[in-house]
Amino acid sequence: MSKLVQGYEVVIGFETHAQLSTQSKIFSRASVAFGAEPNTQACAVDMALPGTLPVMNIGAVERAIEFGLAINAHIAERSIFARKNYFYPDLPKGYQISQFEIPVVQGGEVSFFLEEGKETVRKTVRLERAHLEEDAGKSLHEDFIGQSGIDLNRAGTPLLEIVTQPDMRSSEEAVAYAKELHKIVTWIGICDGNMQEGSFRCDANVSVRKPGGELGTRREIKNLNSFKFMQQAIDYEVRWQIDQIEDGIAIQQATVLFDPDTGETRAMRTKEDAADYRYFPDPDLPPLVIGRDWVERVKGEMAELPRVMAERFVKDYALPEYDATQLTQSKAVAAYFEATAKDCGQAKLASNWIMGEVSRRLNASELSIEQSPVSAAQLAALIGRISDNTISNNAARQVFEGLWNGEGEVDALIDAKGLKQMNDTGELEKIIDDVLAANPKNVEEFKAGNAKALNGLVGPIMKASKGKANPGQVNTFLLKKLGTAQRLE
Ligand code: ADP
Ligand code: MG
């Protein structure tokens, strides 16, 4: 059951432009490096000089194949490039080379976990297609003596446009999808994923409807370049559309922009339909033919995919599916986990520490796991000392703090901070006897059936042991001495 907003169901479909990580452009040999002086990376082909012809960049095709394999899609044996005609100053040919009727990647799906209330549920978004196309240049509306400027460096940059079915039902789901897609393209290395530089741009198509009704008219929010803006933009758009409909105003299909300063979406133009673009096959490019042997070769050369790795973590390390998915958010996190788990032999503890304390500290200091001051080997050593009962969980957090601050290694820190758990049972029993003798009232109340009275005893015992008593052991001894074997919460 999807979440309703004021009685309306939200419907979202995504179009994402992922810039492919090739050295050169999709149909020319000009460089695609970011940040060069305007118009220094546009060759004759990119500028559409007469007599030039496009030549397909095999590296771009190979990346499209990798993407198709990563999402279980069909890789077309024969796909077609088409001209999408429109006039814009930054589009020198007057058309964009794209794919229309027969795209290179067809179908496929992306699935991910989502928190819904207290539950974690798995969602799957079906992909419609992914096609290869070239990027346009950029208009610069700074003041060039009263005129706008055009930078054609970006013209001809290879893009993979990834289109979903309208399968998402909330802004949270849309953001989770976008994050998962981002993870996939960066994991397989076909895109650097840099959202600020525009390497991964999402357009969100949003509509609302009464549950079970026909699809509503959509508006497309263009170029969302951060996950935060994505959520804000969709939430605003949904409320806006519902307000319009409630006021009796029909939604017009349109392309809108999100303004991060006002938090609002604003119509940019009414949306063109496919027919407006006068698509037709590009006579300058032959059909793109991809033999099965090529697909097989690419498959053989690809690194383990995140979902395959997650399945392996479940099998090899007996981890819950949720943990396995969290730990395969990036290759670096997965490698850190595997190194820790292998080293200490306690996969679940390693997972808990990495998803808990380690991520919390990394997030707070805005560090990536590669920059973690605590190495996998150090974390493994720490976990080893918890599982051999040398230190309690509480003490372990203090040791972790010491590791984080570079104060020394695990055993040295345990000694220096005096954190070793009391393993001398004689000493512990003596402390317990003293505390029982000093607190007759609690003992009496406990024996009379008040389980809570035990807390009044455990506290002073831990204090007398300077926190070094093993809480499990304290519990066992205490109950034995109070003459009950019953375990207490
Ligand atoms: P276009 O090519 O004109 O942008 P498409 O039919 O290719 O249109 O759809 C683009 C995106 O919009 C897809 O991700 C699709 O899932 C989504 N979409 C289509 N109809 C709706 C709708 N009524 N509400 C929300 N999203 C939609
Ligand atoms: Mg489209």
Q: Is residue 407 part of a domain?
A: yes
In a shared domain, residues 458 and 320:
no
Torsion of CA 349, 70, 234, 257, to 10 degrees: 130
3-state SS, residue 105 = strand
Closest CA to 446 of 400, 421, 482: 482
In a domain, 299, yes or no: no
Residue 349 tokens read as: 């503890």
Distance, in Å, from the CA atom of 34 to the CA atom of 23, rounded to the nearest integer, reads 11
**DSSP annotation of 10:** E
Q: How many domains does the chain have?
A: 3
3-class secondary structure, 73 = coil
Please identify, by atom number, the ligand 1 atom nearest to the C-alpha of residue 14: 14
Quick one: 349 and 273 in the same domain? no
Give the mean model confidence (pLDDT) for residues 158-180: 97
Amino acid at 453: A
Q: Where does a domain end: 417, 441, 468?
A: 417
Instruction: Give the span between the Cα atoms of 296 and 328, in whole angstroms.
Output: 25
Q: What is the pLDDT of residues 404-461, one digit of tens each?
A: 999 999 999 999 988 888 777 788 888 898 998 998 888 888 888 888 888 888 889 8
- Best mutation site among 2, 8, 12, 15 for ligand 1, i.e. most ligand atoms within 8 A of its Cβ? 15
pLDDT band at residue 2, thresholds of 50, 70 and 90?
low
Please report the pLDDT score of residue 422 as a whole number: 78
Extract the tokens encoding 406.
């570079």
Instruction: Clarify whether residues 132 and 197 are in a common domain.
Output: yes
Predicted pLDDT of residue 425 = 77
The answer to whether residue 147 sits within a structural domain is yes
Is the Cβ–Cβ distance between 279 and 95 less than 8 Å?
A: no
Per-residue pLDDT, averaged over 354-381, amounts to 96
Q: For residues 279 and 383, state if they share a domain.
A: no
Ligand 1 midpoint to CA 165 (Å): 7
**What is the distance in A from the centroid of ligand 2 to the CA of 274?**
8
| pLDDT, tens digit (0-9, with 9 covering 90-100), for 222-251 | 989 999 999 999 999 999 999 999 999 999
State in Å: Cα 13 to ligand 1 middle.
6
- Averaged over 331-348, what is the pLDDT? 96
Amino acid at 305: L
9 and 134 part of one domain = yes
In a domain, 469, yes or no: yes
Q: Which pLDDT belongs to residue 275?
A: 80
CA distance 178 to 182: 6
Q: pLDDT tens across 82-106, in order?
A: 999 999 999 999 999 999 999 999 9
Contact 241, 250 (CB under 8 A): no
Residue type, 415: D
Contacts of 372 (CB under 8 A, 6+ apart): 336, 358, 362
Please indicate whether residue 246 or residue 35 has the higher confidence score (pLDDT): 246
Which positions ≥6 away from 443 have C-beta within 8 Å?
436, 453, 457, 482
Asked whether residue 452 falls in the same domain as residue 405, the answer is: no
Answer yes or no: is 488 within a domain.
no
Contact predicate 45/28, CB 8 Å = yes
Three-state secondary structure along 15-53? Answer: EEEEECCCCECCCCCCECCCCCCCCCCCCCCCCCCCCCC
Both tokens of 341, joined, read: 């788990």
Ligand 1 pocket: which of 133, 177, 205, 210 to mutate (most atoms within 8 A of CB): 205
CA angle 74, 77, 78 (to 5 degrees): 120
Task: Say how many Å lie between the CA of residue 14 and the centre of ligand 1.
Answer: 7
Distance 204 CA to ligand 1 centre (A): 9
Look at residues 47, 482, 6 and name the one whose alpha carbon lies nearest to residue 209. Answer: 6
**Ligand 1 binding pocket mutation candidate from 8, 218, 270 (most atoms within 8 A of CB):** 218
Residue 484, pLDDT above cutoff 80:
no
Give yes or no: residues 84 and 55 share one domain.
yes
Is the pLDDT at 488 greater than 50? The verdict is no
Nearest atom in ligand 1 to the alpha carbon of residue 163 is 14
Q: Which residues line ligand 1 (CB under 6 A)?
A: 11-15, 163-166, 205-207, 215-216, 218, 274
* Overall residue count recorded for the chain in this entry: 489
470 vs 186: which has the higher pLDDT: 186
- In this structure, the answer to whether residues 188 and 220 fall within a common structural domain is yes
Same domain, 477 and 346: no
| CA-based max dimension of the chain | 100
3-state secondary structure of 237: helix
The answer to whether residue 464 sits within a structural domain is: yes
340 plus 433 within the same structural domain: no
User: Across residues 166-188, what is the average pLDDT?
Assistant: 96
Answer yes or no: is pLDDT of 272 > 80: no
Q: Which domain holds residue 79?
A: 4-293
Global pTM value: 0.83
Burial of 352 (0-12, 13-18, 19+ CB in 10 A): middle
Q: Does 129 have pLDDT greater than 50?
A: yes
Rounded Cα distance between 10 and 208, Å, is: 5
In the chain, the percentage of residues whose pLDDT exceeds 90 is: 74
Residues 258 and 362 in one domain: no
> Which atom of ligand 1 sits closest to the CA of residue 164?
14
CATH classification at residue 453: 1.10.10.410
Which ligand is nearest to the Cα of residue 163, counting in written order? Answer: 1
379 CA distance to ligand 1 middle (Å): 47
Where b means 16+ CB within 10 Å and e means fewer, 371-403 reads ebebebebbbbbbbbbeeebbbeebbebbbebb
382 membership: H or E segment, kind and range: helix 376-387
Of the three residues 363, 385, 417, the one that is the final residue of a domain is 417
* SS3 (DSSP) at 231: helix
Ligand nearest to the CA of 220: 1
Strand-pair category, 78-79 with 288-289:
antiparallel
- Residue 430 counted as domain residue: yes
Look at residues 234, 261, 293 and tell me which one is the last residue of a structural domain.
293
Tens of pLDDT, residues 293-324: 999 999 999 999 998 999 999 999 999 998 99
Give yes or no: residues 328 and 240 share one domain.
Answer: no
Q: What is the mean pLDDT of residues 147-167?
A: 96
CA angle 313, 317, 329 (to 5 degrees): 35
Tell me whether residue 298 is in a domain.
no
Cα of 84 to ligand 2 centre, how many Å?
Answer: 11
